[in-house]
Amino acid sequence: MNKYLQSIKEFQNNNKAGIYFVKNQLAKHLEKHEENQTEIEHILDYLYSTGKTFKVGYITIKEKADKWSKKLQQVVVKDIEKEGVDYKVLKKWKNGFKVVKLISKESYQREGKLMSHCVADYYGKDDEIYSLRDEKNLPHCTMSKSSEQIKGKGNNGIIPKYIKYVVEFLEKVGMEVRDSEMKNLGYVNIEDIEDKNAVFKPLFRKKYFYKENEIVDKKGNKYENITLWNAFGLANVSSRFKVSFNFDISLSIRTFLSKINKATAVANESYSTAMANDHSSTAVANKHSSTAVANESYSTAVANDSSSTAMANDHSSTAVANESYSTAVANDSYSTAVANKHSSTAVANKHSSTAVANDSYSTAVANEHSSTAVANESYSTAVANESYSTAVANEGSVAILNNSNNSKVKAKIGGAIVIVERDDNNIKHIFSAIVDGKKIKEDTWYTLKNGKIIKV
């Protein structure tokens, strides 16, 4: 909240319409929904442009902002720009790529239309707008010097292959950029990472580390530790909802155990129980029927053999159960629950959680807004229980959507989808089908609206 108010103060001349929106509509919206910074900045741009204070809800204002942006993009623009008249070249590469500064109103309009955002409305304001262009003079990234924003098409992130051009340009002109925008470029601010054993080189602006580079220890060896998970994220979910891990979980935990003096409980034999009950604790139970419980923020609970149970019950926790009949439960925001073998259960119960069940007969359950449930093998089940959730079944599995409100589901051929449409807490309609590739397509997002199955 404060970062948006600060942005309005610094870049929008204390725009009263934006301040009212942040303190009222946005505050209420974030009580039930995950923060979407790109969407919020889009709305603030609209409110700054119109100067009108609206006392309607968040969704209505977003719809108004979308219509405004679309109207800006519908303006007729000329296809050809003239250097020195419409734009000025600031940096050029041998392959024809270049960064230009927009000059004319027509160049602002062309940029906005081709990039599907509202930069056209920035013309005439106290700002400098830069554009990354290819050899055909087509834009791929728009940068605002005043508001420190870097946007791809549709206000999204930058395609990775263009990042090097943007970073080289930022270095050349010394342009400041927000942490959130650097994150879109694949960079992490490492200033708040307290792990002194990790070495981050090279750094951009002495604080930004590119995620694709290798983290090493002081001896130059690859470094893995759960102390880095919060800043870098434990896992990534692709557009096809395949999960890839940024760290070796087992090695990270072993490193962590060897470095810290905080509460650590380890039970290494059958029927053992390990409990670590404070911040940054680690509980590891490594044999049959073991139980590992870590109950506070940044905790990690790992149970590595059959019939094990791993529970991590607070923010940014990770629960991993790696063998048959295991159960992994992560119960709060940004948690990750992973159950990797037959008949496992992975449950992530809060905002932005990820539950992944990677083998046959597994169950993945994601119970709050914007959660993701993925079931990757035959006979598995993925269940998403709240609005804006996603359920994916990849190999003969079942994907269940327990609330169709702004949620979606998909599956492979031979898999099944089940969608429940609700009105508040009441069930209105239920749809179920096997993905046959004809009536219900493979790898196609579906939801249920007014009892009818529709593609998203």
* pTM given for the model: 0.46
Instruction: Starting at the earlier edge strand, list the strands of the sheet with 381-384.
Output: 273-276, 291-294, 309-312, 327-330, 345-348, 363-366, 381-384, 398-401, 416-423, 426-434
User: Do 311 and 319 meet the contact criterion of CB atoms below 8 Å apart?
Assistant: yes
Residues 168 and 239 occupy one common structural domain: no
Q: For residue 229, which of 202, 252, 261 has the smallest C-alpha distance? A: 252
- Written as six digits, the tokens of 436 are 């046959």
Residue with tokens 């239920």: 430
Pairing of strands 354-357, 187-189: unpaired
Residues 22 and 117 occupy one common structural domain: no
Angle at 288 between CA 356 and CA 276, to 5 degrees: 70
pLDDT recorded at residue 262: 46
Q: 140 lies in a domain?
A: yes
Q: 262 lies in a domain?
A: yes
Residue type, position 8, single letter: I
Q: 224 lies in a domain?
A: no
Low-confidence residues of the chain: pLDDT under 70? 1, 7, 10-13, 72-79, 236-243, 259-354, 356-362, 364-371, 373-380, 382-388, 393-396, 424-425
Domain count across the chain: 3
pLDDT tens-digit map of 134-160: 888 888 899 988 878 888 877 777 777
Q: Whole-angstrom Cα distance, residue 410 to residue 362?
A: 17
Three-class SS of residue 163? helix
Q: 208 lies in a domain?
A: no
Residues 138 and 68 occupy one common structural domain: no
Q: For residue 399, which of 370, 371, 364 has the smallest C-alpha distance? A: 364
Domain around 47: 2-73
Residues 279 and 373 occupy one common structural domain: yes
Residues 271 and 338 occupy one common structural domain: yes
Instruction: DSSP letter for 173, please.
Output: H
Peptide bond into 202 cis (omega under 30): yes
